[in-house]
Structure formats: structure tokens, C-alpha cells
Chain A
Amino acid sequence: MLDDLLTQVGRDADAIPLSGPASARQRGRQRTRRQATISAALAVTLVAVGVGLALTRPHDDLDRTIAPTPSAPVLPEVGSPVELGARPTSVAQAAGDGKVFSAWQTPDGATFVNAVDLHTGAVLWTKPMETTGAVADVRLVPGAVVIIRDAPQGPGQGLTVSYADPATGQSRRQFRVKAGHEVSPAATVLVDRWDTGEVEAGSVATGAPAWSDTTNKTTRVISDGERLVQVTTDGRLLVRETGTGTLRRTITPALKPNEHGQSQFVIAGDRLFFDTVPCCDGAAYQIVSTDLATGDSSVVLSQGPERLVGMTACGDQRLCVLDDTPQVTAIDLGSKVRLWQSPAPESAGMISAIGDSTLITGGGPAVVLDGGGQPAFRAPDANVDWLDEDTVLMTPRLTAGTVTTVNIIDRKVTRLGEMPATIGNCVHTTDRLACPTATSLRLWSLTG
């Protein structure tokens, strides 16, 4: 039904009359002329007031927008580009344990996976994969690299999850997962929640079921590695050991999660956080914090009628919550007091933190808020991620451009060099940046 409705929206959008390219060109020329006029006027004005501003402007550039300038040197490459022959139809990468692992599908449907040494750039191994399917993700679990692909029949038909030896690329196990299932890859098992609510963990060693739960109908499975939380349809949280399925605790949280697994769940340390809307449109959303070790559970935030976008632990005993106001609210988990609220960019879709600093990103500008909720800096349309506790890495979005680091303590901006346009998400460590481009996989140094 929803599919049909959205198809109808597309059809109605197709009936919107457009002015045509000539009109767009004319409007573009008008913009250029207008901007030229404004620039000339501004130049005169700025000369007049520039000296005064330099003397009186406080040295407070916390909220400045940082725009990299296009005059940096070329980013130093590590090793040689791994040529792909043709533009891959899908690609994903993951970095860890001194290597970057890449999986890609070629236009003729073949899929490959390789490992490159992050230090030298040397290709350690390259393996063709047994079956086809667009690459959806590459993940690392202890002792294995996991490649997740759409089923050979195409997206929406399920997934193929392959475990390989990170040292040699040797295939260890391949699982087929049906459409509508939720999977959680772990070191020794692949946990598969069926759309009917059963949970089965397949052993990576044997391929046979390691454990299963067909009694407690489950709407979500969330794992942080060795620990797995099953969210049941009646709102309980079952805490298990992921590898063995041993049940450690059953918790009834302060409020039930939303139906159909639509709450967002975040595990941080021993706490599990989720959002829920207890009743109706316009009701506040509630954030429930549950201690997975003791079972203590309480509501730490009630706010709305806006809706949650994301949340993250942001310092000792703190949770930062992004909603679609859009704003970020920091909560002290001990006292449940709101420490601060700060506006976020309209396009905000993701929130992450290192220490008590918070990074808000999305399809537009990115903002870093310091531990007091004050903007530490704002970046224009760029991909921004944490490099380390004090530094963020900015890479160009969609186009070739400059790779920049920004120290959020002293606001120092360092232009590292130019990189070409990418065709997928890059991955990085503190000293390396790996990206897929149209014809090759590239690896650069972030430390010169």
C-alpha cells in the first residue's frame, strides 16, 4: 500500500511542468550578473570598514564556517592505485588490524574482495567471490572479514553474508539470508532474526545452527560483540551471550519499545538506550535507559512533539540526543537533568561523539559541539568524521577536492592535499584514508 502511494507521488511529480534548459541558463546568467554587482559593492564597503573590524572583532571564531580552499598539494598516495578495470557497480570498504578490506562488483556481475596493507599500500590478497550480488557492506569482526551482498536475484530478495579469513582471504562460510530478515554478524555466529520473529544463530565454524530461540517472538536483535539483546514483541529485553545464546538476564524496561521494532537502539557500555512514543501523534518521545548488567531501567528524557533522529553517548554519564527540531539535547544520566540544548543543521541525520564533543552530520553542513554545547566549528557540504579525540577529518562530497583536518581545541585548519572524486564511502584510520574512485581503489597518507 505504501509502495503504491509513493509510486503515485512519483507520477504526480512527473506532471510538474518545468521551464526548460533555456530558462535555467537565463536565470543562471542573471544570478552571475547580480553576484558580480554585489561583489563590487561589497569590495568598496569592506575596504572602508576592514581596518575597524580588524581592531574591534573579538577573537571568537567558534562558529565560523570552514571552507577548504582549492590550492593544496596532491594528497600523498600510499602504494599504487588498485586498478579495477571498469567502474564497479557497487563497492564497500572497512579498515582495521593494519589492513583495508574492499569488496566490489564489476559491470559483468563478478564480485571480488581484497586486502591492502595500510602501512605500505601493498595488495596482500585478492579473491573472487563464489556467487554474484551487489556489495552492500564490509564489516570486521574478531578473526574475520564479513562481506554482505544482495542476493543474486537482486536487492529486496535477501542477502548473502560471507565470512573470510582476513590473513588470506580464504572463504570460511557463506550464509543465505531471506528477505525481511535482520542479521547481526559476530565473530563465531551469524545471528539471523526472521520476519516471523524467530532467532537463529548460525555457526561460522560448521554452518549449522549454534542456538536458536523460537519461543520469544523478537522484533529486533542488537549486538555489541559478545553480548546480544533480543527485543521481544511484548517489550522485554533478553540479554544473551552472542556466541552461545546463553540467557544472562530478562529485563522489563521502564517503557515498552515502539511496535514493529521501530525504536532506535544504542548500546553504550552497559547501557541500552531506545526511544519510544507511548501513545499518539503529538505525544512526546521518551528515551529509556536500561542497565543491561543490573536490569535497572528509567526514562531519562521526555521531549517532543518532535521525533528522535539519533543519539549517542557523549562523555561520562551523558547522552546526546538529536531530534528533528532540529536540536541536540545533552542529558546527565545520573540526575536526568538536561545539561544544554543547541540547534543543529536542518539536514542533520547522524550524531556521533568522542569524549564530550559531538559531531552532527547529514546531507548538508556538519557541526561540532563542544562539551558545553557550543559550536566548535561548522563545515560546509563535506563528509566529516572524527580522526581522533581532538581532530575531525573533512573530505569532499561527490567531487574532487581538498582533504582537511580541523583541530577542535585550537581551531587549527590543516589542508592535507587534493583528492579525486569518489564513487562510494571512504574509510580511514588516524593516518590513512582509503576511497573507491571510478576506476581504482586508492590509499592516501594523512600524516604526510
Chain B
Amino acid sequence: MTTTDDFDNFYRDTSRRLARYAYGLTGDAAEAQDLVQEAYARAWQRWRRLAGYENPEAWLRLVVNRLAADGWRRLGVRRNRPAEAPATAPPPSEDTVLVVRAMQTLPAAHRRALALYYLLDRSVGEIAAETGASTGTVKSWLSRGRAGLAAALEPIAPKEATRDAR
């Protein structure tokens, strides 16, 4: 199998999850689309090294974290959009718009934990390993993130106990 095949398989295996993660962080489909492609572009630049990493997918999420935090696209760094740019994302549901808008009001650490836990089905232990936080801290992020979401969504999601990570 060639290096290109390896990379393409990696892309196909992981890009959907990365898109979920990027969407959870940014709340904007077009921005998520762009962050995902930028992260894979950077991965391709150092693919030989990255392919040997224990968890190259977590490395991609780190890149997305950084780009999202930097407001990379908003700062106008995005350019050279390829000719084969993907179609525009279909409009999300009304509820999704409300949820992702509410997520944007949360601290970055809470938002990241919620995205990993709910959108990528990562366990508390896995989130702790990825972020370098203790499991107690991750539980606190999830708990406070859920509370923040519930407060922001109060009309449609009354306060309630949900998946308990405590």
C-alpha cells in the first residue's frame, strides 16, 4: 500500500468524526468543513511522521482546536480554495442551530469536552488522556457544560439529569 493510499484510508476512516468535532466546536458548517480540510492538509505535510503516531486522529483534533481558537477562518487566512470545493452543507435542523449556538456560549474547555463525549462517544478516561486533565476535571467540564447548555436552551430543554459522567 502506498503512502497516498494510507493517507486516503485514514481520511476516509476519520474525517466524519473530525467534521462532527469541528462542528461542535465552531457551530458553523462551512467553518467546520474548512477546518477539517485544513487539518488534513497539515496532516499530509507531515504524514510520514504522523502515520507512526499512537493516535494521529487526536493530533488532528488538536489542530482543529488551535485553528478554531485562533478564529483561523474569520481572520481571513483561508485561501486557495480548491476548484473541487464541496457542496454547501444542507441547512441544519432548527434544534441543531439552537444547540450549536448555545455551545458557543460555553468556555472552550467545556465545549471541547461535550463534543468529545457526545459527538464522538469518547469516555471520560479517553478525554482525560487527550486533554491532559484529570478524570475529575473532565467530569466537572461535562457537568458544567451540560448545565450551561441546559440554561441556554431552557425553553426547549428543561433542566434535567442527562447521561451522568460524575
Contact = CB atoms under 8 A, between A and B. Distances in A.
Interface of A: 1-3, 5-10, 12-32, 90, 92, 134-137, 155-156, 179-182, 195, 258-262, 264, 281, 307, 309, 323-324, 326, 345-350, 361-364, 381, 383, 397-399, 421-425, 438
A2 B152 CA distance: 11
A86 to B, nearest CB: 14
Contacts of B36: 18
Contacts of B146: 2
A179 B165 CA distance: 9
Contact of A23 (B54, B82, B108, B125): B82
Interface of B: 4, 7-8, 11-12, 15-16, 19-20, 23-24, 29, 32-33, 36-38, 40-45, 53-55, 58-59, 62, 65-66, 69-70, 80, 82, 84-90, 92-93, 95-96, 98-100, 106-110, 112, 114, 118-119, 123-125, 128-137, 140-141, 143-144, 146-153, 156-166
Nearest to A138: B135
Contacts of B24: 9, 13
A41 B13 CA distance: 38
Contact of B23 (A16, A25, A179): A16
Contacts of B40: 21, 24, 27-28
Given A180-B164, A309-B107, A31 B42 contact: yes
Given A19-B82, A307-B107, A425-B132, 14 more contacts: A12-B23, A13-B23, A14-B16, A14-B19, A18-B15, A21-B15, A25-B7, A28-B41, A30-B41, A156-B165, A347-B108, A363-B112, A363-B130, A423-B55
A6 B82 contact: no
Please classify the interface of chain B as helix (H, G, I), strand (E, B), loop, or mixed, using the class held by over half of its residues: helix
Given A5-B153, A399-B53, A18 B19 contact: yes
A13 B19 CA distance: 6
A259 to B, nearest CB: 8
Given A136-B125, A363-B112, A398 B130 contact: yes
Contacts of B32: 13, 16
Contacts of B156: 1, 5
A363 B43 contact: no
A23 B66 contact: no
Contacts of B114: 6
Contacts of A18: 15-16, 19, 33, 36-37, 86
B107 A326 contact: yes
Contacts, number: 250
A2 B82 contact: no
A349 B141 contact: yes
A36 B131 CA distance: 32
Contacts of A261: 143
A160 to B, nearest CB: 14
Contacts of B65: 347, 363-364
Contacts of A16: 19, 23, 29, 32-33, 89
A363 B109 contact: yes
A398 B58 CA distance: 7
Contacts of B129: 422-425
A137 B85 contact: no
A19 B85 contact: yes
Contacts of A182: 166
Contacts of A259: 159
A363 B108 contact: yes
Nearest to A398: B58
A391 to B, nearest CB: 18
A397 B58 CA distance: 10
Nearest to B62: A381
Nearest to A155: B123
Contacts of B164: 156, 179-180, 195
A423 B88 CA distance: 37
Nearest to A365: B66
Nearest to B82: A23
B142 to A, nearest CB: 11
Contacts of B38: 27
Contacts of B59: 398-399
A19 to B, nearest CB: 5
A260 B147 contact: yes
A400 to B, nearest CB: 8
Contacts of A135: 125
A31 B148 CA distance: 38
Nearest to A349: B109
16 contacts: A8-B95, A14-B20, A16-B32, A24-B40, A137-B134, A156-B164, A180-B164, A281-B151, A324-B106, A347-B65, A350-B109, A363-B65, A363-B112, A397-B62, A397-B132, A438-B54
